[in-house]
Structure 1
């Protein structure tokens, strides 16, 4: 079982990525931040850290996607605003956008 779990929410908009809520050990770290009205997708990055020397386990998942944007438009936004600056590119799904589960 992880010793600590950290989650951070990121919203993709037509202007780029916006950070959202953060949680530590399932507790919200600040007052609730609502999803931006112009959000196209919402992703959550989860980092599970343990005392073992194996390092953290990092996962990302798209938890919401606007029905107003076709998959090709979302893919274009991902190309225009790659999430590399958010330090979670190692787990971006390899499946084409629009085919993953929105959980």
Structure 2
């Protein structure tokens, strides 16, 4: 099962500029899994391309703690968020 973060927003990484959706893919009882950035637009040639942001089997609570306040500090525009900064915070938390 996937838990989506902010479906109406695009998460964009400075390395490729592609719009992605942020998802936590649960592996056990909705407490552990992996944070992913997925291209969800079915009209794009690269639809369903997945970028792993964390290693597998991390606690969702640890991801949430690392991303606390993301809707403010990661915002670039009204509908675009900075995936590069999210990746930096995930790395700083030791989750990648």
TM interval, shorter chain, is under 0.3
Rg comparison, structure with higher value:
1
- TM-score normalised according to structure 1 size: 0.26
Which protein has the bigger strand share? 1
Which protein has the bigger helix share? 2
